């Protein structure tokens, strides 16, 4: 005789687990176990019972580990565990029953959510993860199927800590096999490196993309394709992620040290919910303690992950080792709003630095003078960088080895291979302010940057001053140069408009973020 069924789920079960819990419907099945709706006969309430598969790798230990992980986390957006029981060699975790399907169900049945709903979910999950991380618990399998959405209340609940890692424990895969969902797994875990809270935050970035578009940005037709997408391919968030792009880009930084932190991401998402736009990350951010898998522990402070960067210019070779010319249009096209004014025949430049900048062939442009800038006091720059007091009236921190060049309007710091181009321009404030200037530059993007695409301008602030951020991709000024990505931020301060930008090959965008982060955070106008 077949088991009775429940209209709300799969077949029911006539067992009475631990003399108390009677399954009434199967709610779902995963790699580690089957989840049942059950009636608690003792307390007269509905619960969820997770039955661990006997071949899941030590079911009793797994059940105890998962229950212990969740029991440590007291948070409204984390599933509540009521009990752990064993019967007939099987282990069961008894949890609160959340009436409603998972985010995966929501996406499959009704399609993607809007940006406001995705932001709300993100805030809830960041709160849950932050609480777990403070307890030394890493979830390690954050994906839409493990996020429940309660009917009626909209409550977001993080569940399934089945492969969570706790202080002093091994993972469920005792043989060292990979555990997790590849499309939502951070690259450092894919590569076998130590994982920390940052790995869960990467997973959240992928989950936000899935919530907004319907699938992970790393979805491919094969496991090999997924691995390549996560570890190597250019990261292209879906177009639907545009409203939350600063958060998504920050969470999907392949370098876990530079990855957006939970406090930053929460602040940005709350700003979006309140205002309908996502600002740049506040640069007053103080890194929180990182949690190692052996328990709470502090790590060296890191620089704030840059959600924005700046775009710069290309230095091109003229005749002779000490000759340089500037392309007629800088990467941003904006350069303060009138980059085309720099066009004209190239002229020989004078090199006054101790070593000339690396230069490459290209069309002639405005005169460039390569000069040495005054170093700031030692010990103020992070490793691999130097802080300079620029003769044009400001100081900032730039990568070691970058060479300063100028024309009559702008200052540039260029990497030895010419791949990274950092630019700065100072001018009097103009009508329309930074936002108006950037919108005009965006409108003219196709005329200043070949193959201009994916342009976006958002209003933001820089250290309390009105600012605007412009981001876009383009084809580069030559086939040899290849596709590039540009970040540009401009702001008004004390009657002046400051513009800082960086441009880099698309495949090296993560490095560009770090260079920009350091430069913009350290930028100080002279008194």
Q: Which of 139, 234, 148, 142 is nearest to 184 (CA)?
A: 142
Is 307 within the bounds of a domain?
no
Total number of residues shown for the chain: 527
Residue that finishes a domain, picked among 68, 96, 124: 96
HSE on the CB side for 257, CA within 13 Å? 11
Q: Which of 493, 449, 445, 486 is nearest to 469 (CA)?
A: 486
Q: Are 156 and 269 in contact, with CB atoms under 8 Å apart?
A: no
Residue that finishes a domain, picked among 247, 265, 296: 296
Give residue-wise pLDDT tens across range 88-106.
878 888 888 888 889 999 9
For residues 144 and 103, what is the distance between their CA atoms, to the nearest angstrom? 5
Q: What's residue 162's pLDDT?
A: 54
Lowest mean pLDDT among 94-103, 166-175, 295-304: 295-304
**C-alpha to C-alpha distances, 131 to 227, 248, 400, 489, nearest whole angstrom:** 29, 21, 39, 34
Mean pLDDT of 40-63: 74
- Asked if 30 and 148 sit in the same domain, the reply is no
Is 209 within the bounds of a domain?
yes
Lowest mean pLDDT among 200-209, 247-256, 299-308, 476-485: 299-308
Cα 171 to chain centroid, rounded: 26
Is 413 within the bounds of a domain?
yes
Q: What's residue 380's pLDDT?
A: 64
- Asked if 396 and 261 sit in the same domain, the reply is no
pLDDT at 348 over 80: no
Mean pLDDT of 169-185: 57
Q: What's residue 86's pLDDT?
A: 84
Q: What is the mean pLDDT of the chain?
A: 74
Query: What percent of the chain clears pLDDT 70, i.e. is strictly above it?
Result: 70
Give residue-wise pLDDT tens across range 69-90.
677 778 889 888 888 888 887 8
Q: Are 46 and 97 in contact, with CB atoms under 8 Å apart?
A: yes
Greater confidence, 178 or 465? Answer: 465
Q: What's residue 55's pLDDT?
A: 57
**C-alpha to C-alpha distances, 442 to 206, 210, 332, 448, 472, nearest whole angstrom:** 28, 28, 9, 10, 9
> DSSP string covering 56-119, please?
SSSHHHHHHHHHHHHHT---TTBPPEEEEEEETTEEEEEEE--SS-BHHHHHHHH-PPPHHHHH
Can you say whether residue 16 is alpha, beta or left, with left for phi > 0 and alpha for psi between -120 and 50 degrees?
beta
pLDDT at 326 over 60: no
- Asked if 319 and 439 sit in the same domain, the reply is yes
Residue that finishes a domain, picked among 60, 81, 96: 96
Across 23-27, 106-110, 504-508, the highest mean pLDDT is recorded for 106-110
For residues 359 and 389, what is the distance between their CA atoms, to the nearest angstrom? 24
Greater confidence, 322 or 7? Answer: 7
pLDDT at 453 over 70: yes
Burial class (CB within 10 angstroms; exposed 0-12, middle 13-18, buried 19+) of 327 = buried
Greater confidence, 369 or 85? Answer: 85
Report pTM.
0.52
Question: Which pair of structure tokens corresponds to residue 388?
Answer: 């300079």
CATH of the domain at 270: 1.10.510.10
- Asked if 77 and 164 sit in the same domain, the reply is no
Under DSSP, is residue 435 helix (H, G, I), strand (E, B) or coil? helix
- Asked if 164 and 267 sit in the same domain, the reply is yes
Is 302 within the bounds of a domain?
no
For residues 250 and 125, what is the distance between their CA atoms, to the nearest angstrom? 16
Is 15 within the bounds of a domain?
no
Q: What's residue 518's pLDDT?
A: 85
Question: Which pair of structure tokens corresponds to residue 142?
Answer: 């954050």
- Asked if 176 and 243 sit in the same domain, the reply is yes
Residue 344 phi, psi (nearest 5): 145, 180
- Asked if 228 and 266 sit in the same domain, the reply is yes
Q: What's residue 113's pLDDT?
A: 96
Question: Which pair of structure tokens corresponds to residue 52?
Answer: 């661990």
- Boundaries of domain holding 37: 21-96
């Amino acid at each position: 005789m077949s088991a009775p069924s429940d209209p709300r789920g799969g077949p029911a079960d006539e067992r009475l687990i631990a003399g108390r819990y009677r399954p009434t419907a199967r709610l779902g099945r995963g790699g580690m176990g089957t989840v049942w709706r059950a009636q608690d006969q003792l307390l007269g309430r509905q619960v969820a019972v997770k039955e661990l598969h006997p071949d899941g790798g030590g079911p009793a230990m797994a059940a105890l580990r998962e229950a212990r992980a969740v029991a440590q986390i007291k948070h409204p957006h984390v599933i509540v565990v009521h009990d752990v029981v064993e019967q007939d060699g099987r282990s069961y975790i008894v949890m609160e029953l959340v009436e409603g399907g998972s985010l995966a169900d929501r996406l499959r049945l009704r399609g993607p959510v809007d940006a406001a709903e995705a932001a709300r979910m993100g805030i809830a999950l960041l709160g849950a993860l932050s609480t777990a991380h403070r307890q030394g618990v890493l979830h390690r399998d954050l994906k839409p199927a493990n996020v429940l959405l309660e009917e009626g209340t909209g409550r977001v609940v993080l569940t399934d800590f089945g492969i969570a890692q706790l202080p002093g424990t091994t993972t469920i895969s005792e043989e060292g096999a990979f555990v997790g969902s590849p499309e939502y797994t951070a690259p450092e875990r894919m590569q076998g490196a130590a994982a920390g809270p940052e790995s869960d935050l990467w997973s959240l970035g992928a989950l936000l993309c899935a919530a907004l578009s319907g699938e992970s940005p790393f979805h491919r037709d094969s496991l090999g394709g997924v691995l390549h997408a996560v570890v190597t391919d250019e990261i292209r968030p879906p177009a639907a992620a545009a409203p939350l792009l600063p958060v998504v880009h920050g969470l999907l930084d392949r370098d876990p040290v530079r990855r957006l932190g939970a406090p930053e991401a929460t602040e940005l998402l709350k700003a979006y919910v309140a205002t309908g736009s996502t600002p740049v990350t506040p640069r007053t951010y103080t890194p929180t303690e990182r949690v190692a898998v052996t328990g709470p522990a502090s790590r060296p402070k890191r620089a704030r992950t840059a959600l924005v960067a700046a775009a710069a210019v290309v230095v091109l070779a003229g005749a002779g080792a000490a000759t340089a010319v500037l392309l007629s249009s800088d990467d941003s096209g904006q350069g303060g709003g009138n980059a085309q004014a720099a066009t004209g025949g190239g002229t020989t430049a004078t090199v006054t630095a101790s070593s000339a900048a690396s230069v490459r062939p290209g069309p002639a442009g405005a005169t460039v003078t390569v000069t040495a800038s005054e170093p700031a006091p030692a010990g103020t720059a992070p490793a691999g960088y130097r802080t300079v007091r620029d003769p044009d009236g400001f100081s900032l921190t730039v990568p070691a080895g970058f060479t300063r060049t100028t024309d009559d309007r702008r200052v540039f710091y260029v990497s030895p291979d010419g791949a990274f181009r950092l630019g700065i321009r100072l001018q009097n404030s103009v009508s329309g302010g930074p936002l108006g200037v950037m919108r005009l530059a965006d409108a003219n993007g196709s005329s200043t940057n070949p193959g201009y695409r994916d342009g976006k301008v958002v209003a933001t602030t820089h250290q309390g001053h009105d600012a605007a951020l412009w981001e876009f991709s383009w084809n580069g000024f030559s086939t040899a140069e290849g596709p590039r990505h540009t970040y540009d931020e401009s702001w008004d301060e004390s009657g002046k408009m400051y513009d800082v930008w960086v441009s880099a090959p698309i495949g090296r965008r993560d490095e560009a973020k770090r260079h920009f982060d350091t430069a913009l955070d350290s930028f100080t106008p002279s008194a």
